[in-house]
Amino acid sequence: MLPSSTKDLIRIGDSKYAVVVAVAKRARTLWEENKNDENYRLSTMVTIALDEVITGKMKISNPKLSHKEA
């Protein structure tokens, strides 16, 4: 799997910060689900989380923007 470029990631979220936070939260969730499996490492979870964001399996939303629009 090739690493994503920063330009691709910025297009997905409102900012680089939003993408980093979303990927970190997803990676932590994946790690919690698989922490007893000795074949998984946290770095693997980050890669999987990044892949999910890039392929659209996970959407990044901004609840503050959604609240203002309503």
Q: Is 51 exposed, middle or buried (0-12, 13-18, 19+ CB in 10 A)?
A: middle
The per-residue pLDDT for range 19-43, each reduced to its tens digit, is 888 889 998 998 888 878 777 776 7
Higher pLDDT, 63 or 70: 63
pLDDT of residue 4: 60
pLDDT of residue 67: 47
Mean pLDDT of the chain: 76
The gap from C-alpha 30 to its chain's centroid, in whole angstroms, comes to 11
With 70 as the cut, is the pLDDT of residue 54 above it?
yes
Give the angle 43-52-22 at the CA atoms, nearest 5°: 75
